[in-house]
Amino acid sequence: METAIIGGGIGGLVTALYLQQQGDIVTVYERKEKLGGRLSFLQKDGYKVDEGPTIVLLPDMIKDILKEINIPLEKINLVKIDPMYPIHYRDGTTLMKWSNVKKQIEELERFFPNEVEQFKVYLQNMEERFSKGKSAFLEKSFVEDSFWTKENVKTLIQLKAYQTVRAQVNAYFTSEKLRDAFSLQTLYIGGAPQQTPAIYSLVPYSEHAHGIWYLNGGYATLVEILVSEMKKRNIKIERNSEVTEINAHEKNAYSLVVNGVEKKYGRFILNGDLPVARKLVKEKKQRKYVSSSGALLIYLGVKGKLTTGHVHQFFMGDALKNVMDNIFIQKQIPTNPAYYVFYPSLIDETLAPEGHGVAYVLVPVPANVNINREDYEVCAQHILKDMEKRLDENIMNKIVWKEIRTPHDAKQDRLFEGGAFGLAPTLFQSGVFRPQLKPFSYDNIYAVGASVHPGGGVPIVMQGAKLLAEYLSREKREVLKNEHK
Give the percent of the chain with pLDDT over 90: 85
CA distances in angstroms from 79 to 53, 115, 193, 359, listed in the order given: 16, 30, 29, 18
Percent of the chain whose pLDDT exceeds 70: 95
pLDDT in tens, 328-359: 999 999 999 999 999 999 999 999 999 999 99
pLDDT of residue 282: 82
Task: List the Cα angle 60/62/66 in 5-degree steps.
Answer: 115
**Residue 207 among the catalytic residues:** yes
Higher pLDDT, residue 138 or 484: 138
- pLDDT recorded at residue 110: 95
Cα gap 298→360, rounded to integer Å: 6
- SS3 (DSSP) at 365: strand
Mean pLDDT of 17-31: 97
Q: Which helix (H) or strand (E) holds 66?
A: helix 59-68
Q: What are 452-477's pLDDT values in tens digits?
A: 999 999 999 999 999 999 999 998 88
Burial 411-433 (b: 16+ CB within 10 A, else e): beeebbbbbbbbbbbbeebbbbe
Confidence of residue 404 (pLDDT cuts 50, 70, 90): very high
Q: Which helix (H) or strand (E) holds 253?
A: strand 252-258
pLDDT at 158: 67
Residue partners of 192: CB distance under 8 A and separation at least 6 = 186, 293, 324, 325, 327, 328
| 215-233: average pLDDT | 98
**Taking 90 as the threshold, does the pLDDT of residue 147 lie above it?**
no
Q: Is the peptide bond before 83 cis (omega within 30 degrees of 0)?
A: yes
The confidence band for 314, taking pLDDT boundaries of 50, 70 and 90, is very high
Residue 167 has pLDDT above 90, yes or no: yes
Consecutive H or E run containing 106: helix 101-111
pLDDT exceeds 80 at position 315? yes
From the candidates 30, 51, 207, 229, give the one annotated as an active-site residue. 207
What is the widest separation between alpha-carbon atoms in the chain? 75
| Tens of pLDDT, residues 55-83 | 999 999 999 999 999 999 999 999 999 99
In DSSP notation, 437-463 reads SS-SSSTTEEEESTTSTT-SSHHHHHH
**Annotated domain spans of the chain:** 2-39+58-68+217-289+425-483, 100-210
pLDDT exceeds 80 at position 307: yes
DSSP annotation of 278: G
CB 360 within 8 Å of CB 342? yes
151 burial level (CB within 10 Å; 0-12, 13-18, 19+): exposed
Q: Would you say how long the chain is, in residues?
A: 485
Residue 148 pLDDT: 61
d(CA 172, CA 160): 13
Q: So what's the pLDDT on residue 466? A: 97
pLDDT of residue 481: 72
**Tens of pLDDT, residues 94-142:** 999 999 999 999 999 999 999 999 999 999 998 887 877 777 677 777 8
Q: Tell me the pLDDT of the chain averaged across its residues.
A: 93
What's residue 150's pLDDT?
66
Second-level CATH architecture of 2-39+58-68+217-289+425-483? 3-Layer(bba) Sandwich (3.50)
Instruction: Report whether pLDDT(260) > 60.
Output: yes
